[in-house]
Amino acid sequence: MSFLPHLQQIVSQVEGALACSVMGLDGIAVETHEVPAAAELDLTAAWIELLAPVKQLKDAAELLKTGSVQEVCVSSEKVITLMRMVSPEYFLVLALKPEGNYGRGRYALRVTAPKVKAEL
Amino acid sequence: MSFLPHLQQIVSQVEGALACSVMGLDGIAVETHEVPAAAELDLTAAWIELLAPVKQLKDAAELLKTGSVQEVCVSSEKVITLMRMVSPEYFLVLALKPEGNYGRGRYALRVTAPKVKAEL
């Protein structure tokens, strides 16, 4: 039940990573690891704001022929936010600098999600 | 004011591309180009469903320290949907097969957005 090593590994492996968290769809972060540079962006507030639309996306997609949502990525001016579902109730979220390695971030979340799921 | 050549170029350049459209945030597609294989996924319905949460994401992000939203990507079981803002009211949307070239799709939208904006 310790997610921190997974989160630290993701942040250390992805260039430009600012913070990584296991969050519930209720907006409560189970565990978070962030680098000092992340503090000024107030990512926790950002993630909670992103949650309602992401839940809506998830619910909308489940009614559609396109199937259930596995990943949502939002690029904004100062941060890239990558989210990957771990279970119906929990997801991994990774914040990157705009110049961070987007592809590597997606890959790290994809391979880590089953490991986190196994410990939920 | 003809967007079709841009949309055709994107679809032809990105492996796994199913459809590409210039859409307003009001849900009205200005112009769409799709390959025949896209028909069964009912992408127009999917895009309209995705619109409300994407607008919410955009509004939420603008209040945050992370800055305005430039791109939203949603990966679901049967389709990857990449959206890139062109102007405050219009965006480009590209649907790919799950095994399609995500990175190339993002790149194609990024370079095409200013060309579409110039014609709006």
Q: What is the dihedral of CA A26, A103, A4, A33, to 10 degrees?
A: -70
SS3 readout for B25-56: CCCCEEEEEECHHHHHHCHHHHHHHHHHHHHH
Taking the model in full, what pTM does it have? 0.92
**Nearest alpha carbon to residue A7 among A120, A108, A119:** A108
Please state the rounded mean pLDDT for residues A75-102: 94
Give the model's confidence band at B1: pLDDT under 50 very low, under 70 low, under 90 confident, else very high: low
Kindly list the residues from chain B whose CB atom is less than 8 angstroms away from the CB atom of residue A66.
41, 43, 46, 76-79, 81
Whether A66 sits inside 8 A of B77 (CB atoms) is yes
Instruction: Kindly state the DSSP code that residue A104 receives in the 8-state scheme.
Output: H
Strand blocks (E) in A1-120: 17-24, 29-34, 69-76, 80-85, 90-96
Instruction: Kindly state the DSSP code that residue A98 receives in the 8-state scheme.
Output: T
Decide if B22 contacts B29 (C-beta within 8 A): yes
Tens of pLDDT, residues B37-63: 887 778 888 888 888 888 888 887 776
List Cα–Cα distances, B68 to A58, A78, B55, B71, in angstroms: 22, 8, 12, 9
Which pLDDT value is given to residue A1? 61
ipTM, two decimals, is 0.90
Alpha-carbon distance of B62 to A88, in angstroms, equals 28
For all residues of chain A together, what is the average pLDDT? 90
Both structure tokens of B1: 């004011």
Query: Minimal Cα–Cα distance from B73 to chain A, Å?
Result: 5
In this structure, which amino acid lies at residue A32? Answer: T
Measured in degrees and rounded to the nearest 5, phi and psi for residue A78 equal: -105, -5
Kindly list the residues from chain B whose CB atom is less than 8 angstroms away from the CB atom of residue A46.
61, 64-66
